[in-house]
Amino acid sequence: METVFDDIANALREPRSDVWRPVRAFALDLAAKLFLGLAVGLGVGFGMALAG
């Protein structure tokens, strides 16, 4: 039982760093840019189709 409390105390004292945070941030940024580019492209395409 003491080891459980020791592990909790160590985890609170030394929080582990999230190694994947920069990768997730880059992937989310890339996905947002691709989605925005697709939305703008479709909007321009529909606008040109409606205009003539």
Residue 5 has pLDDT above 90, yes or no: no
**Per-position DSSP letters for the chain, written without gaps between them:** -HHHHHHHHHHHHSPPP-TTHHHHHHHHHHHHHHHHHHHHHHHHHHHHHHH-
Average pLDDT over residues 20-36: 94
Higher pLDDT, 1 or 19: 19
* Tens digits of residue pLDDT in 40-50: 999 999 999 99
Q: Is the pLDDT of residue 11 over 90?
A: no
Between residues 40 and 5, the one the model is more confident about: 40
Q: Could you read off the pLDDT of 15-27 as tens digits, one per residue? A: 667 788 889 999 9
